Amino acid sequence: MDKLALTLGTWFGCGYWPWGPGTAGSAGGLLVAWVLVRYAGWPAWWLLILTAIATPVGIWAAGRTAEIVHKKDPGLVVVDEVLGQWIALAALPVWTWQGALAAFVLFRLFDMTKPWPVRNLESLPGGTGIVADDLGAGIYAGIALRVVLFAAGWFNLR
């Protein structure tokens, strides 16, 4: 089970990327979402369902990986970035590479800055604290994406 936890916790090795493992994890999440939406025909909002299903597994994998490496929130755990990135991408009304890039950048911005109250979620115990702040950052990024797109007149929210 430890191998499974490490595989999922590092998102199939993305967390071992030496220059920004969180960004590599977000890119890994974007790649999976791209395949599901562009090639499997999923509506983008189905990423929210996938996130809801995967979050308990992600919490377990993040918590177990942290125990294995003896750190509270190790940088190599990136399953949390994947889940948060999926939330941000689910906000896209139309799937384009430009929209996906905007969702990626906004998620990374909110994940790195952790505005209130997202930073407070890190204090939750174990894997829950590791994952919860990224879910919050994903929500912020999704809202910001919708606001930016609406303000720019790129789509009608009706």
At residue 10, does pLDDT exceed 80?
A: yes
Q: Is 66 exposed, middle or buried (0-12, 13-18, 19+ CB in 10 A)?
A: buried
Q: How much of the chain, in percent, has pLDDT values that exceed 90?
A: 89
In a domain, 62, yes or no: yes
Return all residues near 46 (Cβ < 8 A) that are at least 6 apart: 36, 90
> Model's pTM, two decimal places?
0.94
Q: Could you tell me which residue, 108 or 152, shows the higher pLDDT? A: 108
In 3-state terms, what secondary structure has residue 146? helix
At residue 158, does pLDDT exceed 70?
A: no
Q: Which two tokens stand for residue 92?
A: 């896209």
Q: What's the pLDDT score for residue 151?
A: 84
In a domain, 108, yes or no: yes
Return all residues near 10 (Cβ < 8 A) that are at least 6 apart: 16, 25, 65, 76, 77, 78, 79
At residue 130, does pLDDT exceed 60?
A: yes
> Which tens digit of pLDDT belongs to each residue from 29-68?
999 999 999 999 999 999 999 999 999 999 999 999 999 9
- In the chain, how many domains are there? 1
Q: Is 143 exposed, middle or buried (0-12, 13-18, 19+ CB in 10 A)?
A: middle
Q: Could you tell me which residue, 122 or 142, shows the higher pLDDT? A: 142
At residue 101, does pLDDT exceed 80?
A: yes
Distance between CA atoms of residues 33 and 10, nearest Å = 17
Q: Could you tell me which residue, 17 or 153, shows the higher pLDDT? A: 17
Q: What's the pLDDT score for residue 83?
A: 98
In a domain, 156, yes or no: no
Q: What's the pLDDT score for residue 153?
A: 76
In a domain, 84, yes or no: yes
Q: Could you identify the residue written with the tokens 């799937």?
A: 95
In a domain, 145, yes or no: yes
Q: Which two tokens stand for residue 59?
A: 């919490």
What are residue 92's phi and psi, to 5 degrees? -70, 125
Q: Could you identify the residue written with the tokens 């204090």?
A: 123
Ordered alpha helix ranges (H), 97-155: 97-113, 126-151
Domain that holds residue 124: 2-12+21-151
Q: What's the pLDDT score for residue 25?
A: 97
The overall average pLDDT reported for the chain is 94
In a domain, 157, yes or no: no
In a domain, 31, yes or no: yes
In a domain, 158, yes or no: no
Distance between CA atoms of residues 46 and 143, nearest Å = 17
